[in-house]
């Protein structure tokens, strides 16, 4: 069922595990993430960047597809449909389209403006039963045109945003969207611990989940991370499996060119990757 992310994240924070946000790009992606979640009996968050929403022809199409798919696939686990790194305008577009959760990324504004816009959006979201994620500091790298410098969040600013009653808080702790460079310094656990100290039980969000070593993910969860976002890793395994299919000439034999066959290995790879991450985050059996 489609739900806000509030309850699943509160349970995760209390139970010391994390719920995965897996970004979706098209029908296949959505189907694979839902299939993995149901098989793992895990709660799940479907992340939609503005770029992916546009690619799928609009947020309305995405919401209609997800709702219908949850029903047609008999999905029983809690599913949140969440805007990833939304602007102020995109948040309203997703509320109107029927999303169950939004992220307002006001991290590039001065803190006063981030606070003012987040205050308004929290109020609107909660009145309509949606959850809201806010951001302080910034996630390095680039995701669908959203570029961040990667500065670590100020724990006092995190507290100011948390006190607005947001449901989850993304705080920059040296994490980066996309692949991590060879010389990456790792996550700043001092920053994370200082933030946790200030914000208490607030579920924290770890963006840039692709390529973070397992032990760092576990440590981050032990320090209050209750949601981990994964996007690039599913794209990489999908591309690799699809390339192998083509390189093996499978599209040239029989009806191997049928898109349902051509995309099948890539889809299986996504399901396996999502299940692997759910195991890592500890959300299996927590639906």
Taking the complex as a whole, how short is the minimal distance between the CB of residue 83 and ligand 13P, in angstroms?
Answer: 10
Of residues 95 and 234, the one with the C-beta less far from ligand 13P: 234
Of residues 218 and 250, the one with the C-beta less far from ligand 13P: 218
Taking the complex as a whole, how short is the minimal distance between the CB of residue 44 and ligand 13P, in angstroms?
Answer: 14
* Rounded Cα distance, 33 and 18, in Å: 16
* Rounded Cα distance, 202 and 182, in Å: 32
CB atoms within 10 A of CB 159: 17
Binding site for ligand 13P (CB under 6 A): 23, 47, 84-85, 143, 177-178, 207-210, 229-233
Give the list of residues 6+ apart from residue 72 with CB closer than 8 angstroms, or none.
Answer: none
Of residues 167 and 233, the one with the C-beta less far from ligand 13P: 233
Which residues are catalytically annotated? 84
- Nearest Cα neighbor of 231 from 185, 176, 268 is 176
Taking the complex as a whole, how short is the minimal distance between the CB of residue 84 and ligand 13P, in angstroms?
Answer: 5
* Rounded Cα distance, 102 and 105, in Å: 10
Of residues 35 and 177, the one with the C-beta less far from ligand 13P: 177
Cross-strand pairs, 225:
204
Taking the complex as a whole, how short is the minimal distance between the CB of residue 222 and ligand 13P, in angstroms?
Answer: 20
Taking the complex as a whole, how short is the minimal distance between the CB of residue 49 and ligand 13P, in angstroms?
Answer: 7
Of residues 138 and 229, the one with the C-beta less far from ligand 13P: 229
* Rounded Cα distance, 167 and 24, in Å: 22
As a whole number of Å, the CA-based R_g of the chain is 18
Burial class (CB in 10 A: 0-12, 13-18, 19+), 190: exposed
């Amino acid at each position: 069922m489609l739900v806000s992310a509030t309850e699943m994240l509160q349970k995760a924070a209390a139970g010391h595990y994390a719920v995965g946000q897996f970004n979706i790009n098209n029908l296949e992606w959505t189907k694979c993430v839902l299939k993995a979640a149901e098989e793992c009996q895990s709660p799940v968050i479907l992340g939609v960047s503005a770029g992916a929403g546009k690619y799928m022809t609009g947020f309305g199409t995405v919401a209609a597809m997800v709702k219908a798919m949850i029903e047609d696939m008999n999905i029983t686990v809690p599913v949140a449909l969440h805007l990833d790194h939304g602007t102020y305008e995109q948040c309203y577009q997703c509320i109107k389209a029927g999303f169950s959760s939004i992220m307002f990324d006001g991290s590039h504004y001065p803190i006063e403006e981030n606070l003012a816009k987040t205050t308004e959006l929290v109020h609107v979201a909660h009145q309509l039963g949606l959850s809201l994620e806010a951001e302080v500091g910034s996630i390095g790298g680039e995701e669908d045109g959203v570029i961040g410098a990667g500065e670590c969040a100020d724990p006092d600013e995190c507290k100011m945003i948390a006190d607005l009653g947001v449901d989850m808080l993304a705080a920059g702790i040296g994490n980066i969207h996309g692949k991590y460079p060879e010389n990456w310094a790792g996550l700043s656990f001092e920053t994370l611990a200082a933030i946790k100290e200030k914000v208490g039980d607030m579920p924290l969000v770890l963006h840039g989940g692709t390529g973070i070593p397992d032990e760092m993910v576990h440590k981050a969860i032990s320090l209050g991370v209750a949601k981990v976002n994964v996007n690039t890793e599913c794209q990489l395994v999908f591309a690799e499996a699809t390339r192998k299919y083509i390189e093996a000439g499978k599209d040239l034999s029989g009806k191997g060119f049928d898109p349902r066959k051509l995309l099948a290995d890539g889809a299986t790879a996504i399901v396996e990757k999502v299940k692997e991450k759910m195991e890592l985050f500890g959300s299996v059996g927590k639906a």
